[in-house]
Amino acid sequence: MDKQCEYICRSILGFDWQPKISPEAQAVLDGCATCLERMYILGACHSIDKIGLEESDYTDLVLESSTVVVGDQTYNGIWVVEPWSGWFLPDSVEPLVKGPEALLFVPRYKSPEQDITHAMALFYGEDKKNPRWSLRHIVDIDGREVDGDTRAKEILRDNGLPYKVERFYEEIDGPKIWFQRIILTDIMANNKESIEKNVNGVL
């Protein structure tokens, strides 16, 4: 871990934590537009790692780098190897939805529809060795200093997009806890799919 990431983890987020980060993954973190984006990625990885440590068959979290192509855009992202053990919520005895075998955080994700760059996109893969990536979440982050008028305009913009943007606010969904909302979204999507399958099976 380089000095900047170590400072973010220890001094800003208060983590006594040093994940294994490959040089390629470090380059992706260095390419984030803001310190806040790095904080959110590292906070999510810490959450996955902390929960995983409670699992008896868990191995240490490793951050690698992988590439995904969307349209004519090629992105390098932070590849979290075997993040599935992090798909627990606080006080849950078992995961309420199956986590992916691979997870890719792609910072600075460009909208395919408008001239917009989102804070990051999350891609899931079902093969830990050679994942085929599938886009699952598009994320934007508002820092504490963003004023109300700007936020209102961005929410209005989000509502006009043909895809869903998950917006996180630093003072509410901070770097340490935001990833729990991602897991909740996965749980709700899984429950909706299960209900639809059951209804279609009856009809």
101/83 Cα distance (integer angstroms):
6
Is residue 181 within 8 Å of residue 166, measured between CB atoms? yes
Scanning the structure block, which residue is given the tokens 């075998």? 101
Handedness of CA 40, 179, 119, 124 (dihedral sign): positive
Backbone angles phi, psi at 148, to 5 degrees: -65, -35
- Quote the pLDDT of residue 200: 45
C-alpha to C-alpha distance for 181 and 175, rounded to whole angstroms: 11
Please, which contacts does 148-157 make with residues 24 or more away whose CB atoms are closer than 8 Å? 157/116
Strand-pair partners of 63: 21, 80
In whole angstroms, give the CA distance from residue 158 to residue 200.
Answer: 32
**Structure tokens, 198:** 């059951």
- Beta bridge mates, 121: 106, 138
Strand pairing report for 117-125 and 102-110: antiparallel
Sequential pLDDT tens for the chain (203 residues): 788 899 999 999 999 888 889 999 999 999 999 999 999 999 999 998 887 666 545 556 789 999 999 999 999 999 998 888 788 776 776 777 888 999 999 999 999 888 999 999 999 998 888 899 999 999 999 988 887 888 888 889 899 899 999 999 999 999 999 999 999 999 888 876 654 554 344 33
